[in-house]
């Protein structure tokens, strides 16, 4: 490798660069405010046999916050209970209210026992539920079978 060249900037160049950066930052802040003004979001509920994980996103799919039963303090087999799922959705619902989300779409994935109670808890918190969609992957035929054994 060769020598590294360090360029020196004059004060005027540094000021121009700072102003350009400031313009970019203010436009990003305006976009964030407009996202909050839309007041729409989505809850992604993943319920397995061992845990329930709920993620709150904005309209574009950017994650705003996420909670799980384990993070809420439930341990062992208690993480997979409907009670734990409802507590997780209540906690995330309070965060959504602080952000200003009013209308939500709910996407449910998995086969755990916390699916129903999480959706009910979200609906009971006063959100306008636009849609509930089950995105659980369903196998269809799967991979190729082994050939039969010759005796």
Reported as a single tens digit per residue, the pLDDT across 69-115 is 999 999 999 998 999 999 999 999 999 999 999 999 999 999 989 99
Q: What is the CA radius of gyration of the chain?
A: 24
Task: Write down the pLDDT at residue 29.
Answer: 46
- CATH number, residue 72: 3.30.420.80
Residue 14 lies in a domain: no
Mean per-residue pLDDT, 115-129: 93
Three-class DSSP category at 95: helix
Q: Is pLDDT above 80 for 5?
A: no
What is the total count of domains within the chain? 1
Task: Write down the pLDDT at residue 143.
Answer: 87
Mean per-residue pLDDT, 138-151: 88
Q: Both tokens of residue 78?
A: 């208690």
Provide the β-strand partners of residue 53: 46, 68
**pLDDT over 70 for what percent of the chain?**
81
Task: Write down the pLDDT at residue 134.
Answer: 95
pLDDT tens per residue across span 9-41: 677 777 777 676 666 556 544 555 554 445 899
Domain holding 52, by residue range, is: 40-134
pTM (two decimals): 0.70
CA 81 to chain centre: 21
Residue 79 lies in a domain: yes
Residue 92 lies in a domain: yes
Cα–Cα nearest to 47, from 127, 131, 124, 135: 135
Residue 115 lies in a domain: yes
Q: Both tokens of residue 28?
A: 């990003």
């Amino acid at each position: 490798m060769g020598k590294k060249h360090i360029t020196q900037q004059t004060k005027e160049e540094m000021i121009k660069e700072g102003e350009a950066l400031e313009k970019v930052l203010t436009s990003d802040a305006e976009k964030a405010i407009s996202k909050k003004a839309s007041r729409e979001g989505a809850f992604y509920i993943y319920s397995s046999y061992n845990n329930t994980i709920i993620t709150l996103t904005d309209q574009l799919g950017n994650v705003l916050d996420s909670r799980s039963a384990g993070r809420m303090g439930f341990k062992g087999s208690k993480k997979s209970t409907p009670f734990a799922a409802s507590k997780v959705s209540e906690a995330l619902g309070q965060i959504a209210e602080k952000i200003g989300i009013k209308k939500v779409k709910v996407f449910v994935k998995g086969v755990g026992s916390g699916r129903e109670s999480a959706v009910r808890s979200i609906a009971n918190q006063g959100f306008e539920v636009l849609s509930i969609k089950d995105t659980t992957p369903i196998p269809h035929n799967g991979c190729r079978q082994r050939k039969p054994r010759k005796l």
